[in-house]
Amino acid sequence: MHPAGDLEELMARYQGGDLAAATSLIHRLSPQLHRFFLARYASRHEADDLLQETWLRIHEARRTYRPGEPVLPWLYAIARHTAVDHFRRASRLAMREVSAEDLDRVAPPEDSTRTPDLETLLAPLPESQREVVAMLKVSGMSLEEVARATSSSVGSVKQKAHRAYEKLRAVLKGTGVERRRAGGLP
């Protein structure tokens, strides 16, 4: 996580043509953007491409950032747009929603004490819920900020997060993660 004021100041300097501020933003925010793309079913290679394309679009659209406004919702709105375009281009927008039967993916295969990675945990969720949970957990944005980034209302974001947790609860129950947790394992 980054102090919000710090990002806003860097963004304002980037708009002013400060290359050091742009480089700093790229290095600080790229890991979470990359993670966000991976959580949306992108492969590592696709996530690299999406990251590059997102920064180019951010660069084109940088004048649309209003100084004083939170940076992350603005940034994620563009990242989301880039991802949607990418998946449309690859004819994968209406891609698989992993069914509840694919739950063996969620269970840690070898080491049962290991926490599954985020991509595996989010895999059973539909696209819209996965996106909301990824934004909340990867970027640490508030519900209000996620609502801005996804052009939706706070109520809708809350509902998606709630449904995602319900689904995850059902999934984890079936995979034995809960049993291990009850048995004292992490």
Partner 1 sequence: MSDRDIDAMLNRAAEKAPTVDPALLDRIAGSVGASIRPVRPLPAAWILATGLAAICAAIATLGAARAGLHGIEKLTAIERAVIFPTLGVLLWLAALVSAREMLPAQRRWGNPRVLLAVAIVALEAAFALLFHDYRATRFVARGTVCLAVGLLHAIPAAVAGWLWLRRGFAVEPVAAGLATGAIAGLAGVTMLELHCPNLEALHVLLWHVAVVPISAAAGALWARWRQASRTTAGS
Residues in the site for partner 1, rule: CB under 8 A? 15-17, 19, 22-23, 26-27, 30-32, 34-35, 38, 44, 48, 51-52, 55-57, 59-67, 69-70, 73-74, 76-78, 80-81, 85, 88-90, 115-118, 120-121, 133, 137-138, 147-149, 151-153, 165, 168-169, 172-173, 177-178, 181, 186
* Of 6 and 178, CB closest to partner 1: 178
Amino acid of residue 168: L
Least spacing, CB of residue 6 vs partner 1, in Å? 18
Nearer to partner 1, 103 or 177 (CB): 177
What phi-psi label fits residue 17: left (phi over 0), alpha (psi between -120 and 50 degrees) or beta? Answer: left
By beta-carbon proximity to partner 1, the closer residue of 5 and 140 is 140
Q: How many CB atoms lie within 10 A of CB 23?
A: 12
| Spatial CA neighbour of 77 closest among 68, 65, 88 | 65
Write down the least CB distance from residue 112 to partner 1, Å: 14
Residue closest to 29 by CA, chosen among 140, 122, 152, 131: 140
Min CB(90)–partner 1 separation in Å? 8
CA distances from 133 to 42, 147, 172, 182 (A): 16, 12, 16, 24
